[in-house]
Structure formats: structure tokens, C-alpha cells
Amino acid sequence: MARLSDVIEEFIKSMLESSDELKLQIGRNELANHFSCAPSQINYVLTTRFTVDKGYYIESKRGGGGCIIISRISCSCNKNLLDIIIEKIGDSITYNSAVQIIDGLFEADIISDREVDILKAVINDRNFTEFVDNRNKVRANIFKSAIIVIFNEN
């Protein structure tokens, strides 16, 4: 049985896919009522499942009942997205965090299946057996270099 967070995530993603726009405007309280949950549950899903590294940008509007605008990051803002991803990678990154970024880029149609496979192979822990103490730092440097090359070709 799927967790409520998974159900909410899939519901929002299906709304985004059925929309002609790259943006979706929803009311947090209305969504919470729809799923019979607390608004904080909606916040949790938005902050953990719809992040920049997964290809989404969230805006919160106050007043008039308030709403949340979820935008898919499109390829037209690749330079800005590249800067955000490089900052997110930072000086050190775990394999799982890097995979989240890769999967988000794929989900946003920014990288191909092949690029996903290559990136995951390159950043795999098996490649860093000689750098056990510094593997996350080495991974970050390699990952940033590969992402820059990919973005410069797109």
C-alpha cells in the first residue's frame, strides 16, 4: 500500500502532466482537504519531492486564500539551473544525493537515459575504493565536471 506522501506526489505530478502550462497553481488547504490530511503533510511532500534538483521550482503566494505554484524547470533556463545544481553538489556529495539530482534532471527531460546511466556509473562508490576518506569530495568534483559538459552540449 502506498504511503500518503507517495499518493499526494503522484496526484500533483498527474495534474502537472495534464496541464498545458509548465506551472500548476494549487491551494494547499484545498489539497489537504482532498486527501483528509494536515496542510503540513502537503508542505512535506512539496519540500521533499518537488525540489530544484528534481526539476521543480515552488513559489508560495500569500493572500486571497494563498496558493502554491509548482513549476517544472524547462531547458530554456539551463544556465541558471546549472548554477543551482553546481551549488547543490557543493564540495562533497553522497551517491544517493547525486542520484536524486540525476533522476530529477531526467524527469525534467534535461538529460537522456544514456546520460543517466553514464553519470550513475561514473559516480558509483566502486570507483572510489582508493579514496575512501575523501570519496564524496572526489565524487563531487567528477560529478560537477560531467554536469558542466552535459549542459554545455545541450
pLDDT tier, 62 (very low <50, low <70, confident <90, very high otherwise) = low
| Domains defined along the chain, listed by start | 4-72 (3.30.56.130), 75-153 (no CATH)
Distances (CA, A) of 103 to 14, 18, 113, 117, 140: 18, 21, 10, 10, 16
pLDDT of residue 89: 92
**Tens digits of residue pLDDT in 66-84:** 688 887 765 555 557 788 8
